[in-house]
Structure 1
Amino acid sequence: MSALQLPCIIYKSQKQMDDYSAADMRCGDLDEAQLQKHFHLNDVSTRVDPYTQTKVTPFNQPQAMFYNMRGPGEPITEQACMRTLFDEFRALSRTFSLYGPYKPVIEQMITHMQNGHGSKFRSLYLDMALKEQVLNDCSGKGSLQRIKEFLLRNINFKESYLPSNKKDELYIEISRRTILPKFDRLKDRINGLGISVHDTWATHITLQSLLITHNSFQAVVHYRIQDHFGLDDNDILHPLYSHIRIFKIWFVLQRWVKYGYKPFITEINATVTIEGIKYD
């Protein structure tokens, strides 16, 4: 039996990397009537009305008792209106990013949406968060723990190799019995990771190297994860998110034909080392 050739991808999610055709990657595809009638996006911002490009005052907010009694708000330019919406977007994001080392990430991502023209986003903070999550998963179903257990069971320690025919078994083990890394824990709601990434779109796990000595091994495992910083129709029609202002602003900036700011792919990478000892 031959040894598994490394590096080797031992897990691939069904969803593809670099998927720009996903529903949450659409932009500039909806007109004003669709936004207001189908998605009920009338009261978007507390600072500006994006449709009329005017400043919002207590008397010209759509929900105000005396709406329009004093006429429209002060007109502003389209560029000023967009800048104001992004400033409010950033300000609202701070509610979801209250503490910890990952606090700055969401504002960096919003600014990247504003200026990045759809280019990929990478952050050392997110790489660090992924590595921390992988290493500290104590659920008993973490992918790293499952990989370690699998290697201990299937390495041929006598001849110091992992048989190549075990690759499919390892894929099944990860697919069916593990919890893949994502940021949907309770603490992620306020540490900036939930609003920045939350769930993930595509995951690749690669066994980069495997050193076997007598009854022990040392393996290097690489995680590559992608997420989409964008909203699809279901996101804004969700009973909860549809009433949260940050998502209203985000959706209008991304999907309104007049603005059409491009969503982007967030790429996160982490490399970890695991060790195991086979006891007879």
Structure 2
Amino acid sequence: MRGIDQPLIIFNSRKPFNDRCADDMKYGDLTEKMLKARFGLFQVSERVDCYTFQKMTIPAYGNMPKLSKEQTAAILFDQLRFEAGRFAFWGPYTGIIHRLFTHMQYCNGKDFYDVQMNQAYKKMIEGDNSSGSTLAVIKKIISQFDFSAYSLTSDDFKAQLINAHLPKYSRFVDNFNGLGISIHEINSTKITLESLRFEQKRYTAVIKYTGQDHFGLDINDISKVKFSLLKIFRIWFVLQRYQLLAYKPFFTNMEARITITGENNA
């Protein structure tokens, strides 16, 4: 029984990779007036005025000096990392969100790669044991395909994978392990069948998952009540979208290679 001669891209999500036109990738596009009038973001910090860059006045000391953009942002990013603890306080991945905010602060929109993020991505995919998971669908197709009569193509996967459960961090545990706040719904996904070998009816396949998310907030995010009331998202949105701060969002890239085995029953 024959496998494949070259890798097959068997799924590409509707949302494209590297989409810098997405609203959550915009930065520095909103004025103070717009942020206040449209989103109610009058003050997001009790430590510094995010619009005037003035430290909050301590009565005993009188008026505080005006800070630079970088000094103001440093205070706000410190608050972000502190507030992130509400969403990242259990398990091995709690440090990812802190690294993401630090990356936003210093790396000027550069893509983000992280070994631990890849590990979490692989573990999540392998841990989805539902019949509608992408791995389950791929296994079913390979197990039932008639390799003696046909050559396997990407089209043999697409119709079923389009309805499969794509990997995303929406499990209950993701509310407090740091992954929900760091990544949540992965914006773009590509699945590649890298190799498929047979020993009689037994097969071994290597599947590569490539995922990309946007570490940024869009207008729809901040318009939701659950986002607009939480300090972490209020500060984040102002840091990103206020024209005098304009800290760049960026792409978070992740990948996982997973080996599956089974038997063809066609």
Normalized against structure 1, the TM-score is what?
0.89
SS at match of 1:223: strand
The amino acid of 1:52's aligned partner reads T
Aligned residue among 223, 242, 251 for 2:228: 242
In the alignment, structure 1 residue 97 sits paired with structure 2 residue 88: yes
Partner of 2:260: 274
Q: Which residue pairs with 1:106 in the alignment?
A: 97
Query: How far has the Cα of 1:213 moved from its partner?
Result: 1.3
Percentage of pairs with the same residue: 38
Which residue number corresponds to residue 170 of structure 1? 157
Pairs aligned (count): 264
Whether the 8 Å contact between 2:3 and 2:197 is mirrored in structure 1 is no
Secondary structure of the structure 2 residue equivalent to 1:204: strand
- Kept in 1, the 8 Å contact 2:194–2:208? The answer is yes
In structure 2, what is the Cα distance between the partners aligned to 1:19 and 1:211? 35
DSSP 3-state at the match of 2:186: coil
Tell me the distance in 2 between the aligned counterparts of 1:223 and 1:3. Answer: 19
Q: For 2:151, give the aligned amino acid.
A: P
Q: Which residue of 2 aligns with 1:125?
A: 116
Cα shift at 1:72: 7.8
**Retained in 1: the 8 A contact 2:142–2:264?**
no
**Which residue number corresponds to residue 75 of structure 1?**
65
1:199-238 → structure 2 map (5 Å cutoff)? 199-238=185-224
SS in 2 for 1:208: strand
User: How many angstroms apart in 1 are the aligned matches of 2:62 and 2:245?
Assistant: 22
**1:104-139 superposed Cα distances (whole Å, 9 cap, x missing partner):** 000000000001110100111110011001111112
Which amino acid letter does the alignment assign opposite residue 41 of structure 2? L
Counterpart for residue 191 of structure 1? 177
Q: Superposition RMSD on alpha carbons, in Å?
A: 2.0
Consecutive unaligned residues of structure 1, counting only runs of 5 or more, are: 60-69
**Preserved contact between residue 4 and residue 167 of structure 1 (Cα < 8 Å):** no
In structure 2, the partner of 1:41 is 41
Structure 1 runs of 4+ with >4 Å offset: 2-5, 70-73
Say which SS state the counterpart of residue 49 (structure 1) adopts: coil
Gaps of 5+ in 2: none
What is the CA–CA distance in structure 2 between the aligned matches of 1:243 and 1:73, rounded to whole Å? Answer: 29
